[in-house]
Structure 1
Amino acid sequence: MIHTDTNASVSGKVPMLKNEDWWAVWLGLFIFALGLGPIFGVDLIGWVVKSGTWNDFSKAMAPISKAYKGMSGYTSMFLTYLFLLVITTIGAKAMGASIKRFAIGFTAIYAITFTCIVLGNNAYIAATPDKQESLGISWSLGLGEMGFILAMIVGLIIGNFMPSVAKYLEEAAKPEWFIKTGIVILGAAIGIKTLGAMGLASTVIIRGLCAVVEAYLIYWPVVYFISRKYFKFTPEWAAPLASGISICGVSAAIATGGAIRSRPIVPVILSAVIIVFVAIEMLILPWLAQTFLYQEPMVAGAWMGLAVKSDGGAVASGAITDSLIRAKALKETGIQYEEGWMLMAATTTKVFIDVFIGVWAFILAIIWSMFNLNKKGGGATSEKSNVSAREIWDRFPKFVIGFVLTFLVLFLWGLADPQIVDGAKLGSDEANGFRTILFGLCFFSIGLITNVRKLWEAGMGRIVAVYTICLFAFILWVGLFISWLFYHGIMPPIVGG
């Protein structure tokens, strides 16, 4: 098993080449660099496999780029595996792993994880309501990220009931490494989304900036206070929980966990709860918006961006809301709004929240260093620590550097030369194909190394209680109120108007 003690690595006891955080940066930047190919007319990673929502298994996987449409899904899946095996094995070897055990373990983990992702994308499980008709189904669970949960469940089964198998696979079970590499890649996608937002109406941009204030300076401290004061969570649990509920679900919880040096189990267990709540919100909120906000469509769209705590869930909810409200407005008032404006409001709001994940992680890293909030026993101390700038740097989550770098490169480049945006979007989508698989590998790995008894003792019931109280007691309604303040009376363009 690879021994990469996070605390040791940041204190300088482990060289840079053995530091998991730095390897996440390097691998993420390498994939990002390959994703720049379409800008120069070369599609280098369009063969990466994509598993879309399916009801015909022959269409369950395919290359992500149309340039490789002649390639079979199985070939694409194998090439993706081979690529990830090579680059992760290089890093694992540098960090002290046995190449043979890592390669065998990674192969098994990849096969199981990708199978779970494909199964989780079955139409009856994953399809959002606005896609059911095109898929030929009348119902679905709408659990678009269920593949991650399936991967974690399978990992839990192996880890708790097949200890000998789990022990062998542990050599390649590196949840933090996988997820941090994925977050580095995520920066590019957010950079491209932000470029799209820059061309929108100034009101929408201002609304997106205000969403940042709401999520980070209003929601976050309230959720953190409730978690600590009334549910007695330690800072290690309360901070990722506050980020997951307040900001951007899975990515924010994991970035926060890395920033404060929590155990890897913490943010991923929270992420599983977040995914379930996102599904519940997607089932309820668009229909509430259709019933009560069809005369204020832009308010409804922005509300989806603030209320639904995952990128995919927020965008899907925005699309559903867009469709439902346009249909009702046409029926009730005879007005036909142009398609996509409510979705744009939801997406823009979410993008501006996402952009500041790295900044928030940096702020939390400094605060946790100064006040020693993760001291032994999980409690906080009221006394400041004498923390040097060097120690803050050592504790800073290096993968955030990669996240910010990939974001800035595409954002600034796109501002300077708008002609590269289409190619950059294609390349970032292709790189995101790797991110999806890396996230799945993380969830399986967490399940594999998790002791269920200890997990239950950690207070899963309290996590659900905090989420329920915070979401339904104030996050939904504060978000709705501020959405109303900024979008009340603003209407989408009318078809033919």
Structure 2
Amino acid sequence: MNETDSAPAPSPEKRSGLSEDVIAIVVGMLLLILCFAATLTLGKRTVEDGTVTAIANPLKPFVSKPGGWESNPIVAFTGTADKPKVTWPGTIGALVILCVVMASLSLFMRPQATPAAFIYGFLILFALALIAYVLAGQSVIKNYNLEYALWALVVGLIIGNTIGKKAFGELGEAAMRTELYIKTGLVLLGAEVLFSRLLAMGMPGIMVAWVVTPIVLITTFWFGQKILKMKSASLNMTISADMSVCGVSAAIATAAACKAKKEELSVAIGLSLCFTAVMMAVMPMLITSMGLDQELGGAWIGGTIDATGAVAVAGGLLGDTALEVAATVKMIQNILIGVIAFGVAVYWTTRSDGEEGEAPKIGAGEIWKRFPKFVLGFIGASIIASLIYASSSEGEMLVTATTSVTKELRGWLFCLAFICIGIDLNFRQLSSQFHGGKPLILYICGQTLNLILTLAMAYLAFKVIPWGS
């Protein structure tokens, strides 16, 4: 999730307000309603022979990202005399829409932040995200497929490992909410994943996500215990779940189930972030060089990259089809978080060599607590958009016009998220927790197995088995 997807729980005194899952659903739905209402009421309709043939979203010119450039970055906002493409109004529009909607809900966030503090921090993050987008638009860089997410990570890493986020002060930190940006973007993505396609992909997606994942989890844990002989079984299990299921959310749920120490959870999260950054950039290039199509490549990405947001970004680098397949496979895999946490807790209650004398207990309430609820927002948005899309030809055009704007907003949200990830990732603190390198070896071996099995299963599910024939 995910990705990439949540941080250790804050202390009780800071837990007032709504969870970021709830806020993400609210913000995502508000943005979808805003864009759909604008299209429905103010959208320009093209009519031929009394039939509406196209609908233009009136917000489209006011929500965009910087364009391409060669030697002068100003061209990214103004275009050239030959190709005038003015993008600065869209950049400002994206800033205003996202900032206003999120700042208005900042008092309900956990921990709470005043609107003024949130706006101050958001402006800083947006400026950094803008730099990432401009760098990604340079023509030479663009030819090498070095997209905005990679540059967002680089910009964040430079800041996080030099001046650090504390240099921004408490006001600046108020808007550094990685989970919120990623999960809100994924709720918006739900409107782009039509339910009819989700159902059509159901069985192949289940094969990739639900068959490979437990095999990799169990094998990696066995490898860590029997071959690497890791001293901490709870660290082994947390890393194995993080790598095989869906990243940080799975690590947190599993760490609670097996009573892992706080520093062990930090190691798993750090490994997840490092490998997610590398795989997010490398896998699209590898898939392209191997000549895999978007469907197979998307399934491979969805089943192997840890963080849900990074899955969406990496899939998007290959194309819309790969993005949809990757996000769907990852969402199906996310369902396993509660199942895996429950299974780990049961195992830890029966194992005789546990490090803690008291066996953990986990029930339906704890599973629901650990379940990434933003997935419900994704599914809800998908169902609503699918119903509208299937209602009529005009409904199809309304959804298409609406998502043409929400795609741009989603891109900004992911860019903001990866700026935050880079800032939070401090290599010096992380290096002191690697216990002789065994956690790194475990992760590399487990992820290698995951890559091989997932590609084989994706090929079998999407290319060999004749579903529906």
Identity over the aligned pairs, expressed in percent? 17
Match of 1:83 in 2: 97
- 8 Å CA contact 1:155–1:445 kept in 2: the answer is no
CA distance in 2, matches of 1:431, 1:265: 35
Alignment of 1:359 onto 2:362: no
Structure 1: give runs of 5+ residues left out of the alignment: 64-68, 128-139, 244-251, 290-298, 320-342, 491-497
CA distances 1:321-377 after superposition (whole Å, capped 9, x unpaired): xxxxxxxxxxxxxxxxxxxxxx96x6675354134144234545655787899xxxx
- Once the two structures are TM-superposed, the CA of residue 259 in structure 1 deviates from its matched residue by 5.7
* Equivalent residue letter for 1:210: M
CA distances 1:127-146 after superposition (whole Å, capped 9, x unpaired): 4xxxxxxxxxxxx2645631
Match of 1:304 in 2: 297
CA distances 1:250-296 after superposition (whole Å, capped 9, x unpaired): xx43554676689799658624422423443444444444xxxxxxx
CA distance in 2, matches of 1:34, 1:115: 27
Q: Secondary structure at the match of 2:459?
A: helix
- Once the two structures are TM-superposed, the CA of residue 26 in structure 1 deviates from its matched residue by 1.1
- 8 Å CA contact 1:29–1:406 kept in 2: the answer is yes
Structure 2: give runs of 5+ residues left out of the alignment: 1-6, 44-56, 257-261, 306-310
CA distance in 1, matches of 2:78, 2:202: 36
Q: Secondary structure at the match of 2:359?
A: coil
* Equivalent residue letter for 2:278: V
Alignment of 1:408 onto 2:383: yes
* Equivalent residue letter for 2:24: A
CA distance in 2, matches of 1:369, 1:413: 42
Per the normalisation by structure 2, the TM-score is 0.69
CA distance in 2, matches of 1:173, 1:208: 33
Alignment of 1:150 onto 2:165: no
CA RMSD in angstroms, aligned pairs only: 4.5
CA distance in 1, matches of 2:324, 2:186: 19
- 8 Å CA contact 2:24–2:183 kept in 1: the answer is yes
Change (3 A) 1:357 1:32: farther
- 8 Å CA contact 1:106–1:172 kept in 2: the answer is yes
Aligned match for 1:211, one of 205, 208, 223: 208
More displaced 10-residue stretch of structure 1: 52-61 or 439-448: 52-61
Change (3 A) 1:150 1:393: same
More displaced 10-residue stretch of structure 1: 394-403 or 260-269: 260-269
More displaced 10-residue stretch of structure 1: 46-55 or 77-86: 46-55
CA distance in 1, matches of 2:457, 2:20: 43
- 8 Å CA contact 1:212–1:353 kept in 2: the answer is yes
Aligned match for 1:270, one of 253, 269, 272: 272
Match of 1:181 in 2: 184
Match of 2:135 in 1: 119
Match of 1:336 in 2: none
- Once the two structures are TM-superposed, the CA of residue 468 in structure 1 deviates from its matched residue by 4.3
Change (3 A) 1:174 1:305: closer
CA distance in 2, matches of 1:242, 1:150: 26
CA distance in 2, matches of 1:450, 1:314: 23
* Equivalent residue letter for 1:177: L
- Output aligned runs, 1:346-495, within 5 Å: 349-350=325-326, 352-364=328-340, 383-385=359-361, 387=363, 389-415=364-390, 417=392, 419-459=394-434, 465-466=441-442, 468-473=444-449, 475-476=451-452, 479-480=455-456, 483=459, 487=463
CA distance in 1, matches of 2:28, 2:371: 17
Q: Secondary structure at the match of 2:247?
A: helix
* Equivalent residue letter for 1:270: S
* Equivalent residue letter for 1:112: L
- 8 Å CA contact 1:257–1:266 kept in 2: the answer is yes
CA distance in 2, matches of 1:416, 1:303: 30
* Equivalent residue letter for 1:48: V
- Once the two structures are TM-superposed, the CA of residue 30 in structure 1 deviates from its matched residue by 0.9
CA distance in 2, matches of 1:301, 1:118: 27
Change (3 A) 1:283 1:104: closer
Change (3 A) 1:48 1:215: farther
- 8 Å CA contact 1:254–1:268 kept in 2: the answer is no
* Equivalent residue letter for 1:83: I
- Once the two structures are TM-superposed, the CA of residue 27 in structure 1 deviates from its matched residue by 1.0
CA distances 1:137-168 after superposition (whole Å, capped 9, x unpaired): xxx264563123123214314553x7443554
